[in-house]
Amino acid sequence: MKILNAIIAGVAQGSMIALVSLGYTMVYGILKLINFAHSEVFMMGAFFGLFLTVGFGLDTSPMFAGVAGTLAAMVLAGLLGALVEKVAYAPLRARSGGRSNTNTRITPLVTALGMSVLLQNLAQLLFTARYRSYPQLLPIENARTIVFVVAVVVMIALQFLVYGTWFGKAMRAVSVNVEAARLMGIRTGRVISMTFVTGSMLAALGGILYCLSQSQVYPTMGVVIGTRSFVAAVIGGIGSIPGAVLGGVLIGVIGELTKLTPYSGLQDVIIFTVLIVVLLVRPSGLLGKAGIEKV
Q: For residues 156 and 180, which CB has a smaller minimum distance to other proteins in the complex?
A: 180
* Nearest partner of 206 among 8, 5, 24, judged by Cα: 24
Alpha helices in 165-240 (DSSP H): 166-176, 178-183, 188-214, 221-236
Segment near other proteins (CB under 8 A), from 29-37, 45-53, 65-73, 132-140? 29-37
The strand ranges marked E within the chain are 132-133, 216-217
Residue 36: which H helix or E strand, with range?
none
The 97-126 site mask, x for binding other proteins (CB under 8 A), equals x-x-xxx-xxxxxxx-xxx-xx-xxx-xx-
Please work out the total of residues on this chain that contact other proteins, with binding judged by CB under 8 A. 66
CB of 200 to other proteins, least distance (A): 18
Instruction: Check residue 224 for interaction with other proteins (CB under 8 A).
Output: no
Beta carbons of 201 and 78 less than 8 angstroms apart: yes
Question: Is residue 129 close enough to count as binding other proteins by CB under 8 A?
Answer: yes
Residues 250 to 289: which contact other proteins by CB under 8 A? 265-266, 268-269, 272-273, 275-276, 279-280, 283
Q: How far is the CB of 40 from other proteins (least distance, A)?
A: 11
Residue 21, interface with other proteins (CB under 8 A)?
no
Buried b / exposed e across 247-268, counting CB within 10 Å, b at 16+? bbbbbbbbbbbbeeeeeeeebe
- The b/e string for 273-294 (b: 16+ C-beta within 10 A; e otherwise) is ebbeebeeeeebbbbbeeeeee
In the complex with other proteins, the residue whose CB is nearer, 67 or 88, is 88
Asked if residue 218 binds other proteins (CB under 8 A), the reply is no
DSSP secondary structure code for residue 134 in this structure: P
Helix (H) or strand (E) holding 7: helix 2-31
Q: Which residues bind to other proteins, rule: CB under 8 A?
A: 32-34, 87-88, 91-92, 95, 97, 99, 101-103, 105-111, 113-115, 117-118, 120-122, 124-125, 128-129, 166, 169-170, 172-173, 175-177, 179-188, 230, 234, 265-266, 268-269, 272-273, 275-276, 279-280, 283, 293-295
